[in-house]
Amino acid sequence: ELVEEYCNQIFEVRRFDDEIVDGSGSNFLYVKHLPIKRVLSVQYTNDNITWNAWDGKIWANDYLIYSVKKFPKGIGNIKVSYEAGWANPPGLVYKVITEIVAEVWQEGPGLSRLGLDSGGTSIQGSVSRNYRDLLERHEKLLKTLKIERVI
């Protein structure tokens, strides 16, 4: 998950049901998880109570969902179900994950915790690396896979 979080994309295909997004007022929608593989359904609401199936043709590239019709502009007025992720993740992802796991394991099973809020743990007088340190070591490799989004 830490590699996915850093890169802003999913490295295994997963299904996301009923994600609420803002209507753009244009022919495309942004969703949270990338890359988009398949759109399963799009619904919209005008009253925040009743959801209606979208009746325009829909398709997606890796980054956006498109329609021949404009999506109504609004806040939280679109509900999308879709699949996102890599069918075959780049070898670089496996390399970085393997290195991170090996490093944590080398510190000793149960002696260290890898997580967002983990701090350094002292092992025989040395301070172990935490999540952010591990990420910094691999940042240069992962940079080519990182998606920067401003929504």
Q: Per-residue pLDDT tens for 65-110?
A: 999 999 999 999 999 999 998 888 878 787 887 887 777 777 665 5
Q: How far apart are CA 40 and CA 18, in angstroms?
A: 10
Q: Output the six-digit token pair for 2.
A: 């830490």
Q: What is the pTM of this model?
A: 0.68
**Residue 135: band (very low, low, confident or very high) from pLDDT cuts 50, 70, 90:** low
Q: Where are the beta strands (DSSP E) in 14-125?
A: 14-23, 28-29, 36-44, 52-53, 58-60, 65-67, 74-84, 122-123
Residue with tokens 């919209």: 44
Give per-residue pLDDT as tens, 18-71.
Answer: 999 999 999 999 999 989 999 999 999 999 899 999 998 999 998 899 999 999
Q: How far apart are CA 16 and CA 40, in angstroms?
A: 9
> According to the model, what pLDDT value does residue 99 have?
80
**Residue 134: band (very low, low, confident or very high) from pLDDT cuts 50, 70, 90:** low
